[in-house]
Amino acid sequence: MVSVHTSPLAQPGTGDAGGMNVYVLNTARELARAGVEVEIFTRATSSDEAPTVEAEPGVLVHHVPAGPFEGLSKNDLPTQLCAFTGGLLRAEAHRRPGHYDLIHAHYWLSGQAGWVAAERWGVPLVQTFHTLAKVKNAGLAEGDSPEPYTRVIGEEQVVSEADLLIANTAAEAAELQGHYGAPEGRIAVVHPGVDLGVFRPGDRTAAREALNLPQGALVVAFVGRIQPAKAPDVLLRGLARLREQDPELSEKIVPVFVGGPSNTDPYWLPRLAWELGLGDTVQWRSPRSGEALAQVYRAADVVAVPSHNESFGLVALEAQATGTPVVAAKVGGLPTAVAEGRSGLLVDSHSADDWADALRKILGDTSLRADLAGNARTHAALFSWRETATGIRSSYRRAAESHATGRLQSAC
């Protein structure tokens, strides 16, 4: 696996680390448990990192030096693709011929490096984009910077060269076809999963005690990177509008934001909270994962996912796995991750009025909230990382067959 811009060992929720980290690490683990040896190549970002780390038996993470350890944003990394690809090729050169059977690249930067390595080694290239530039630019947050044209070109090249593209949902598969001209026969749809052992229902009272949250409050949680694309400001504006419309209900609400800044002014969201008159009610918490993150979900009455775009929406799935309903934007893969009207509510816009309406509907109706919570775990249980890995292994076989057929046709 190639994951250039973010390590699967990094803490999700800050910088460039997010759902892709969770996806890469968990699929690698499940593949290893099924007998597939996985080596993950990522760019080294600290001199303290060991060159190679065993994440667990069967999963190695290689930190490839490429450019300065710190100070490079994701948009700077195309300048280091040559150095990274060189490191990737050198690693294979120390192995016996044919050591690697297949390359699975994550994000477009990895696809560029994987494309070169796949041609050099004569192996199939499987690509998962996680996000697409043309889709992000079509639903850009106000004030957010569009994805550069170099990324669009890079994605088009990888789509053209990959033996197989793995899409998270049927909606993403349609985007690959519509925006990038990807042939339907070279796309496999494999849903991401959730760790149903870690993210499980538990004691809400104990969770609130652990997080020092008031027991009688209505807790609304946001989990993710604090950046315009994730739209935490949309949630704040919806809460501010709700306070104007229903002050009595709003007095009970405690918003909790769990995450860190991602290539943005670290104070932009707290400033907005104070400007909207919510500064004294919002609680800010640092990024976390595993059981500590599950406690956040259990403590919440509802988890909000207002993103402008999500290829899937792992936060929504994790929250539902703990038995907490979700209010999410009706974009990208979220209509798959959330069962509308059964495990959560979907909002068809990012307007303050619509978000206020949705929040009032779920927070003001105890019976509805209980019904959604009762179905949330059942819906989340349809997704697991083991099932995801099974789908990925099937995709690998398809890619290998396609690659072998293509080489035979070329030889003829």
Q: Say whether both 186 and 252 belong to one domain.
A: no
Whether 10 is in a domain gets the answer no
Phi, psi of 222 (to 5 degrees): -120, 130
Print the domain residue range for 354: 204-380
Give the pLDDT band of residue 410 (cuts 50, 70, 90): low
Give DSSP secondary structure letters for 275-332. Answer: HTT-TTT-EEE----HHHHHHHHHH-SEEEE--S--SS-HHHHHHHHTT--EEEES-T
Give residue 167's pLDDT band: very low, low, confident or very high (50, 70, 90): very high
Q: Which residues carry a binding-site annotation for 1D-myo-inositol 3-phosphate?
A: 5, 16-21, 74, 107, 131, 151
Q: Residues annotated in the binding site for UDP-N-acetyl-alpha-D-glucosamine, as ranges?
A: 11-12, 19, 225, 230, 288, 310, 318
Residue 55 lies in a domain: yes
Kindly state whether residues 145 and 220 are assigned to the same domain: no
pLDDT at 408 over 70: no
| pLDDT higher than 90, residue 351 | yes
**Is 13 inside a domain boundary?**
no
33 and 166 assigned to the same domain: yes
- 104 and 239 housed in the same domain: no
Number of continuous H segments (helices) and E segments (strands) in the chain:
16, 13
Q: Are 131 and 229 in contact (CB under 8 A)?
A: no
- Residue 316 shares a structural domain with residue 368: yes
Same domain, 225 and 137: no
Do 183 and 134 share a domain, yes or no?
Answer: yes
| Domain containing residue 398: CATH number | 3.40.50.2000
Let me know whether 79 and 177 are in one domain.
yes
Residues 267-322: tens digit of each pLDDT = 899 999 999 999 999 999 999 999 999 999 999 999 999 999 998 999 999 999 99
The reply to whether 2 falls in a domain is no
Same domain, 369 and 391: no
Q: Are residues 150 and 189 located together in one domain of the fold?
A: yes
Residue 8 lies in a domain: no
What was the pLDDT predicted at 144? 82
Q: What is the pLDDT of residues 24-81, one digit of tens each?
A: 999 999 999 999 999 999 999 888 889 999 999 999 999 999 988 887 777 888 999 9
Residues marked as binding?
5, 11-12, 16-21, 74, 107, 131, 151, 225, 230, 288, 297-298, 300, 310, 318, 324
pLDDT at 18: 77
Do 259 and 188 share a domain, yes or no?
A: no
Assess if residue 198 is contained within a domain.
no
Average pLDDT over residues 378-397: 97
The verdict on residue 37 lying in a domain is: yes
Binding-site residues for Mg(2+): 297-298, 300, 324
Tell me: do 210 and 264 sit in the same domain.
yes
Instruction: Let me know if residue 286 belongs to a domain.
Output: yes
The number of folded domains in the chain is 2
